[in-house]
Amino acid sequence: MLSRFDYRRLARPDKGLIRVYLAHTSGYSRAQLARLIRQYLDCGRLAQRYATPQAGFARTYTDADVRLLSEIDAHCTAHCPAWPPRN
């Protein structure tokens, strides 16, 4: 959008309209847009610096671990005294 409308040559009110439009469509904050526009004005392009997570969170327990923990919990619930103990 910045190059399409030749942001460098726009008048101040028009730049404000472009910023409002970009904030609305992109969801970026006012400060983040200011940084991105400054990067565009300095370099002539925008470089993506944020990586999107591809795999999500690393898994801690395997399916076998979850089954074993579930069996232990069921056993303790059925056979162990209530915790915490009551006075």
Q: Which pTM does this prediction carry?
A: 0.52
> What CA–CA distance (Å, rounded) separates 36 from 3?
13
Q: Are 19 and 37 in contact (CB under 8 A)?
A: yes
Q: How confident is residue 54, by pLDDT bands cut at 50, 70 and 90?
A: low
Top pLDDT among 59 and 82 is at 59
> What CA–CA distance (Å, rounded) separates 47 from 39?
8
> What CA–CA distance (Å, rounded) separates 66 from 24?
44
- 31 pLDDT more than 90: yes
Please tell me the predicted confidence (pLDDT) of residue 38.
Answer: 92
- 12 pLDDT more than 80: yes
Q: Any idea where the domains of the chain sit in the sequence? A: 7-43
Q: What is the mean pLDDT of the chain?
A: 83
> What CA–CA distance (Å, rounded) separates 40 from 7?
10
Q: What is the pLDDT of residues 66-83, one digit of tens each?
A: 999 888 888 777 666 666
